[in-house]
Homo-oligomer: A and B are copies of this chain.
Amino acid sequence: MSKFKDLKQECYEANMQLNELGLVIYTFGNVSAVDRENGVFAIKPSGVPYEELKPEDIVILDFENNVIEGKMRPSSDTKTHAFLYKNWDEIGGIAHTHATYSVAWAQSQKDIPIFGTTHADHLTEDIPCAAPMRDDLIEGNYEHNTGIQILDCFKEKGLSYKEVPMVLLGNHGPFTWGKNAAKAVYHSKVLEAVAEMAYLTLQINPDAPRLKDSLIKKHYERKHGKDAYYGQK
């Protein structure tokens, strides 16, 4: 029996969740889960429809993209996941989707402004949209370079991946992460909801103001601050 059985199961369930939450059609997405102790991560095999996916299909790789276990070809986005796990050592899961409103913002090449408390309950910044990749990077090691593109975006905007668990890749779509695979999927769903609300807000009032700082702080801290009082102890 595989020593990665639990990791595969976690990864499998998170991928299925992506589908149940209406965030993907066909094979347009993937989720991975990491095992830091063993220096490996589990990811969806490439191009397999959700209705056919089984836990044992999940592929195990190390952070250099070597397949450690599994007979199938891993997701075509695998190198992006590996790069993020290697560089950001406090994330436990990563999700990628082509969810409708998230993609629309990515295609618009615009950050999603923080307009309300639904957004502030999860992060205190506009949701960043990374500029499209330079041509030489696209023609090179594309998926690896997608990881670089994300890190560069966070560096340039002065953001921390620990506080901003999501990014839009210009012209492409969202990547989200969290302490485990389920939390990464949760952030994909939250992003899609916030993206839809922000879109509608601008349709109703093109001059809608950004949420004021005191409310951003209040909502984030009641959920994530040291005196947080949201949820059970």
Contact = CB atoms under 8 A, between A and B. Distances in A.
Given A135-B212, A197-B103, A98 B118 contact: yes
Query: Looking at chain A, what size class is its interface with the partner chain?
Result: 35 or more
B189 A117 contact: no
Given A116-B103, A118-B28, A76 B222 contact: yes
A142 B222 contact: yes
A208 B173 contact: no
B107 A215 contact: no
A139 to B, nearest CB: 6
A197 B76 contact: no
A224 interface: no
A106 B222 CA distance: 21
Interface string A192-226: 01001111111111001101101100100011000
Interface stretch (A4-12, A42-50, A83-91): A42-50
Interface string A82-109: 0000000000000000101101111111
Contacts of A172: 116-117, 215
Interface of A: 25-28, 45-48, 72-73, 76, 98, 100-101, 103-110, 115-118, 132-133, 135, 138-139, 142, 171-173, 186, 189-190, 193, 196-205, 208-209, 211-212, 214-215, 218, 222-223, 229-233
